[in-house]
Amino acid sequence: MARVLIVEDDRDLRNGIACVLEKEGYEVKTAGSLFELQAAPTSWADALLLDITLPDGSSRNYLKKLREVSDVPCIFLTAHSTEMDMIEGFDAGADDYITKPFSVPVLLRRLKAVLSRTQKEQGTKYCTRGLVYDFQEKTLTKEGVLVPLTKTETKLLEIFIQNRNQVLTTEILLGKIWDIDSNFVDKNTLSVAVVRLRTKIEKDRKHPEWIKNVFGIGYKWSDKDEE
């Protein structure tokens, strides 16, 4: 089931929503302010339920910045129901807008609709911690910036993503990469491709976050969001 991050300063409302979602099978985490939201695992979440007016400010600016690196669906929860409030909410990047007080069944339907819609839209995309790979367009962006890849690097990245959190032996990788332009890829070429890919996506390629060495065997794409 999907994972939902609830950001709401009203503790009773926050806990009430969390309780309902958990009963529906959702995995839930919560925050009560912008300060707590800054430390919240937004990359973990499949959807955000975000109160606009929080004790330490408006969450609109936070969502605008988040939209630079993430397409995680967001539903604004707010007591402000004017047309301009709604327009500003959508302009900030919200996928939906629910005014308080609201019906819990309606909230559940809206949440399911947003998740269903965005899952279809992102069916050809892999998104995690600032990285977005589009399988259809064969493009990779990091923190919103396009990362140029060679054909071999692109194929290697796709193999890693499609087999994330699984150990891939060198032999398996060589067999899968072989058919690109019918070029032969040996262990040295594979090693160079891994190093180049790490250089392009890792903050520190000597201490990789994604492409891990499995000593004496091969490599593993480590997706912490799914472990």
pLDDT at residue 166, rounded to an integer:
84
| Structure-token pair, residue 176 | 């899968």
Question: 86 lies in a domain?
Answer: yes
State yes or no: pLDDT of 225 exceeds 80.
no
- Domain range for residue 130? 125-221
Q: CB atoms < 10 A from the CB of 54, how many? A: 20
State yes or no: pLDDT of 168 exceeds 70.
yes
Question: 227 lies in a domain?
Answer: no
Handedness of CA 12, 18, 22, 24 (dihedral sign): positive
pLDDT at residue 10, rounded to an integer:
92
Looking at the fold, whether 130 and 117 belong to one and the same domain comes out as no
Q: Which of 118, 26, 24 is nearest to 74 (CA)?
A: 118
Q: CB atoms < 10 A from the CB of 50, how many? A: 25
pLDDT at residue 181, rounded to an integer:
47
Banded model confidence at residue 179, pLDDT cuts 50, 70, 90: very low
E-state strands within 66-155: 74-78, 96-99, 125-128, 131-134, 139-142, 145-147
Domain end position, chosen among 121, 142, 172:
121
pLDDT at residue 129, rounded to an integer:
81
pLDDT at residue 119, rounded to an integer:
62
State yes or no: pLDDT of 194 exceeds 90.
yes
Looking at the fold, whether 111 and 141 belong to one and the same domain comes out as no
Q: How far apart are CA 210 and CA 161, in angstroms?
A: 10
Whether 125 contacts 135, CB under 8 Å: yes
Looking at the fold, whether 106 and 179 belong to one and the same domain comes out as no
Whether 217 contacts 207, CB under 8 Å: no
Report how many domains make up the chain: 2
Strand partners, 47: 4
pTM of the model: 0.55
Whether 188 contacts 194, CB under 8 Å: no
Question: 226 lies in a domain?
Answer: no
Task: Calculate mean pLDDT across residues 157-174.
Answer: 86
Task: Calculate mean pLDDT across residues 117-136.
Answer: 75
Strand partners, 221: 211
Looking at the fold, whether 116 and 26 belong to one and the same domain comes out as yes
34-79 residue pLDDT tens: 888 877 767 678 889 999 888 888 888 888 888 876 778 899 998 8
Which CATH number belongs to the domain containing residue 60 in this structure?
Answer: 3.40.50.2300
Domain end position, chosen among 87, 121, 155:
121
Which CATH number belongs to the domain containing residue 142 in this structure?
Answer: 1.10.10.10
pLDDT at residue 28, rounded to an integer:
92
Average per-residue pLDDT for the chain? 84
Choice between 151 and 1, residue whose per-residue pLDDT is larger: 151
Looking at the fold, whether 194 and 212 belong to one and the same domain comes out as yes
Domain end position, chosen among 72, 94, 121:
121
State yes or no: pLDDT of 177 exceeds 70.
yes
Whether 173 contacts 156, CB under 8 Å: yes
